[in-house]
Chain A
Amino acid sequence: MSASVYMDYNATAPVRPAAARAVADALVLTGNASSVHGFGRAARRAIEDAREQVAALAATAPENIVFTSGGTEANNLALAGTGRRRILVSAVEHDSVLAAAPEAEILPVDELGLVRLDALADALAVDGAPALVSIMLANNETGVIQPVAEAAAIARRAGALVHCDAVQAAGKIALDFDALGVDLLSLSAHKTGGPQGAGALVVAAGLDLAPSLRGGGQERRRRAGTENLPGIVGFGAAADTARTELDAAARLADWRDEMERRVGRILPAVEAVAAATPRLPNTSCLLTPGLSAETQVMALDLAGIAVSAGSACSSGKVTPSHVLHAMGRGEVAADAIRISLGWCSSRTDIDRFVAAWQDMVTRAGLLPSAA
């Protein structure tokens, strides 16, 4: 697989070298962090160091970090843990938010995928029941960055709590828990170049959170279970690297924009979804009218290029994106692919992608000059 080009960082990222080293070191440590002997205390220290690193990524205090098994668990814990029965979520949230709150009220988004703040204000005004609002920081399929701070200000004025799924945003754009003004924020290690199987929920000081997993009282009684020492330590190292390399992440936008310009020149009908609004620097949702996503990902795979048809979750088949549907683009949703770059991407990846993509649309007979 080394010859191929990986452009699916929003599904999972290769583990950063610093994180891989931290994991490898921790794998040969023996010790349950709850044990009082030296082995246990060494494990505890490593976990608390990682807690500081992860907290720094979100610009928050270490004691606000609750380690989980990943973003899905963090989202589920946030939505179940506040005890608020009335939940409002944006229509473009990740499946783990939508499925965790099946009875939630759905907030519409505009044609760029931005949550409608007027709809949020109206919904909170008509019903005074204590609510929880969940809005993602950046969308996994389009990269669109939501006006979370504005939404949070509206929600807080109405007495609502706010959760933000920052799984895709973390490590790609700067995060500031206090500036966002939210109460809960979800993070995932493997999306930032850490190992799979670790994540965190940031919980505002003073917020009472009922645990979903009960048992030994770990994570200050908010998440039971022996701490995943290598996973947490790897998460810490990845968070630390990602935070210090945010400039490099921002520069991915240059390559992404160049790629979008080049495919646009080849086939003017192609559309970079939501390019008119701030997006994650690494993400491109490319719509090629008349060429199904399934056909595209297969053709690109044959050319050694790994992209996706949306999110990587387990439906087992390619289903049209609920995100594009919510943006009023349902009719073309089946023709969209996602290209996502990351810390190990290179300039030549862009060239190889554009060449393969041109080849694909040429063979599909989509080029006006194909004759």
Chain B
Amino acid sequence: MVVSGNRSENVIYLDYQATTPTDPRVVAAMTPYFSERFGNPHSRTHPYGWDAEDAVERARAQVAAIIGAEPREIVFTSGATESNNLAIKGAARFHRARGKDHVVTAATEHKCVLESCRDLEAEGFRVTVLPVRPDGLIDTETVAAALDDATVLVSIMAANNEIGVLQPLAEIGQACRERGVLFHTDAAQAVGKIALDVEAMKIDLLSISSHKLYGPMGMGALYVRRKPRTRLTPLFSGGGQERGLRSGTLPTPLCVGFGMACEIAAADMAAEGQHLRALRQRLYKGLLARIDGVTLNGDPEQRLPGNLNLNFAGIAAEDLMTEAKSVALSTGSACTSASLEPSYVLRALGVPDDLAHGSIRFGLGRFTTEAEIDTVIDRVAAAVEKLRRGGSGVAAE
């Protein structure tokens, strides 16, 4: 499939961790809800409302199923940023009155998790930001050692958005459960890519993004455990939708699309993962064979099937992306991609700044083909060769 969005140029999209194309099956499922089936799902007095409510509840079940949750444990939000803000600030604020004042997270978390914790710090909470190992993984012992009697919540992501590494959720969940501490995981990059189970992993709060798993933008969810019940203070108040945890009219078409995206991902996850791992290996090996001085950031095994994060010695990432502009790549998080600061994630791994400046994220996904990978290898290898030959003046061309 050719991903559109860039006129007719033959540009290959390899930025699936920034956003994924909306799956055509998802678009088809949503379309009727933008036209004849337009009701407000909270309208209780006519069939337009009932039809929309049915659609929203079907979607809720589809989303719940992909993480082993019950439908009523799913709170729909506008996206993972809102889910993370709601989980972290909501849990901390609720338990403040009960003598809890400590939150634990890690240095490589997404910006919205770290910023939410910073908000809490301004409100008087203690925040512990844990270091990670050079492979990007966090030691469960480090988490366990950080917990004290006043710890409300541990927030550790499932999969990193830049380097793709997968944290040991089940171990961390066990450590938290033993201490009676809530465990939140930002699973925006992981849901639909790797198997997750909130029971087996002892997760109390889990954030999901729709547009990272081929669903529409503007949509997400927070899983909120019911047994034992996880209590939150809402971010928005109003009509009392979503059991009072998130007021506002639910966007029916977005719920439907998100639900369909989860159903497709759940069905295809194993095969898709295998396919992506093979493509990623092809890309990695192809680049290693053609280019010297390539190093991988993050653990080679414990990572998302569709993620590679590489350094190219002596080359600045911006120069490489400019030279290989027929491949849509990024330096890391899209949120900070316009910034020239080296990635804080790579810094946390201990990657020196000069190497971090040369790091590129390759995000592969559902519509990436073998032929595209071979083309990418050619284009990136040619770009690196040209840059290494021509020195630093190339970016200005």
- What is A's interface to B at a CB cutoff of 8 Å? 1-2, 4, 6, 8, 11-15, 20, 23-24, 27-32, 34-40, 42-43, 68-73, 75-76, 94-97, 99-100, 102, 188, 190, 195-198, 212-218, 224-231, 297-298, 301, 305-309, 311-318
Q: Number of contact residues on B: which range applies? A: 35 or more
Pair B13/A228 contact, Cβ less than 8 Å: no
Q: Say whether, besides A12-B249, A30-B20, A228 and B15 are in contact (CB < 8 Å).
A: no
Q: Say whether, besides A28-B27, A195-B34, A40 and B334 are in contact (CB < 8 Å).
A: yes
Pair A229/B217 contact, Cβ less than 8 Å: yes
Pair B337/A36 contact, Cβ less than 8 Å: yes
Pair A314/B239 contact, Cβ less than 8 Å: yes
- Report how far A13 CA is from B333 CA in the complex, Å: 36
Q: Report the stretch among B1-9, B190-198, B275-283, B301-309 that lies at the interface.
A: B1-9
Pair B240/A40 contact, Cβ less than 8 Å: no
Chain A residues with Cβ below 8 Å from B335 are 34, 215-218, 224, 226
- Report how far A37 CA is from B360 CA in the complex, Å: 13
Q: Is B358 an interface residue (CB 8 A)?
A: no
User: Contacting B112 at CB < 8 Å: which of A12, A68, A224, A306?
Assistant: A224
Q: Report the stretch among B146-154, B224-232, B321-329 that lies at the interface.
A: B321-329
Query: What are 22 inter-chain pairs, A to B, with CB distance below 8 A?
Result: A32-B19, A39-B11, A69-B251, A72-B238, A75-B238, A99-B238, A195-B254, A197-B253, A214-B112, A217-B111, A218-B335, A225-B79, A226-B209, A227-B218, A228-B216, A229-B218, A301-B45, A306-B48, A312-B42, A312-B44, A313-B241, A318-B45
Pair A76/B337 contact, Cβ less than 8 Å: no
User: Contacting B111 at CB < 8 Å: which of A36, A215, A231, A311?
Assistant: A215
User: Contacting A306 at CB < 8 Å: which of B31, B47, B82, B336?
Assistant: B47
Pair A228/B217 contact, Cβ less than 8 Å: yes
- Report how far A305 CA is from B211 CA in the complex, Å: 36
Chain B residues with Cβ below 8 Å from A214 are 85, 112, 115-116, 118-119
Q: Is B200 an interface residue (CB 8 A)?
A: no
Pair B254/A43 contact, Cβ less than 8 Å: no
Pair A195/B251 contact, Cβ less than 8 Å: yes
Pair A224/B334 contact, Cβ less than 8 Å: no
User: Contacting A215 at CB < 8 Å: which of B18, B112, B325?
Assistant: B112
Q: Is B81 an interface residue (CB 8 A)?
A: yes
User: Contacting B251 at CB < 8 Å: which of A2, A39, A231, A298?
Assistant: A231
- Report how far A96 CA is from B13 CA in the complex, Å: 40
Chain B residues with Cβ below 8 Å from A314 are 42, 239-241
Q: Is B78 an interface residue (CB 8 A)?
A: yes
Listed residue (A40, A75, A196) with the most chain B CB atoms within 10 angstroms of its CB: A196
**A315 to chain B: closest residue by CB:** B240
9 residue pairs, one from A and one from B, having the closest CB atoms: A228-B218, A215-B112, A313-B239, A216-B335, A197-B251, A96-B238, A69-B78, A306-B46, A99-B237
Chain A residues with Cβ below 8 Å from B336 are 216-217
- Report how far A37 CA is from B320 CA in the complex, Å: 12
- What is B's interface to A at a CB cutoff of 8 Å? 3-7, 9, 11, 13, 15, 18-22, 27, 30-31, 34-40, 42-49, 51, 77-82, 84-85, 110-112, 115-116, 118-119, 209, 211, 216-219, 235-241, 247-254, 321, 325, 328-330, 333-338
- Report how far A12 CA is from B43 CA in the complex, Å: 9
Q: Say whether, besides A20-B34, A195-B253, A37 and B218 are in contact (CB < 8 Å).
A: no
Chain B residues with Cβ below 8 Å from A30 are 3-5, 13, 19-22
Listed residue (A37, A99, A190) with the most chain B CB atoms within 10 angstroms of its CB: A37
Besides A8-B45, A40-B328, A214-B85, 17 other A-B contacts (C-beta < 8 A): A1-B36, A13-B38, A29-B5, A31-B5, A35-B337, A69-B218, A76-B235, A95-B238, A100-B236, A100-B238, A190-B40, A195-B254, A197-B218, A197-B219, A225-B80, A230-B218, A297-B46
User: Contacting A39 at CB < 8 Å: which of B15, B118, B235?
Assistant: B15
Chain B residues with Cβ below 8 Å from A42 are 5-6
**A301 to chain B: closest residue by CB:** B46
Q: Say whether, besides A225-B78, A314-B239, A36 and B46 are in contact (CB < 8 Å).
A: no
Q: Say whether, besides A30-B20, A69-B248, A73-B248, A216 and B330 are in contact (CB < 8 Å).
A: no
Chain A residues with Cβ below 8 Å from B115 are 214-215, 224
Q: Shortest beta-carbon distance, A140 to chain B, in Å?
A: 11
Pair B239/A69 contact, Cβ less than 8 Å: no
Pair B236/A73 contact, Cβ less than 8 Å: yes
Chain A residues with Cβ below 8 Å from B111 are 215-217, 224
**B238 to chain A: closest residue by CB:** A96
Pair B218/A231 contact, Cβ less than 8 Å: yes
Pair A96/B218 contact, Cβ less than 8 Å: no
- Report how far A289 CA is from B313 CA in the complex, Å: 81
Q: Shortest beta-carbon distance, A9 to chain B, in Å?
A: 10
**B209 to chain A: closest residue by CB:** A226
Chain B residues with Cβ below 8 Å from A102 are 237
- Report how far A334 CA is from B235 CA in the complex, Å: 31
Q: Shortest beta-carbon distance, B40 to chain A, in Å?
A: 4
Q: Shortest beta-carbon distance, B233 to chain A, in Å?
A: 12
- Report how far A97 CA is from B237 CA in the complex, Å: 8
- Report how far A249 CA is from B217 CA in the complex, Å: 31
Pair A213/B81 contact, Cβ less than 8 Å: yes
- Report how far A229 CA is from B254 CA in the complex, Å: 12
Pair A28/B4 contact, Cβ less than 8 Å: yes
User: Contacting B249 at CB < 8 Å: which of A2, A32, A196?
Assistant: A196
Listed residue (B78, B235, B249, B338) with the most chain A CB atoms within 10 angstroms of its CB: B249
Q: Say whether, besides A35-B328, A73-B78, A228-B218, A20 and B21 are in contact (CB < 8 Å).
A: no
Pair A313/B328 contact, Cβ less than 8 Å: no
Q: Shortest beta-carbon distance, B338 to chain A, in Å?
A: 6
Q: Shortest beta-carbon distance, A12 to chain B, in Å?
A: 4
User: Contacting B48 at CB < 8 Å: which of A6, A197, A227?
Assistant: A6
**B119 to chain A: closest residue by CB:** A214
**B211 to chain A: closest residue by CB:** A226
Q: Shortest beta-carbon distance, B10 to chain A, in Å?
A: 11
- Report how far A298 CA is from B44 CA in the complex, Å: 10
- Report how far A308 CA is from B239 CA in the complex, Å: 15
Pair B34/A307 contact, Cβ less than 8 Å: no
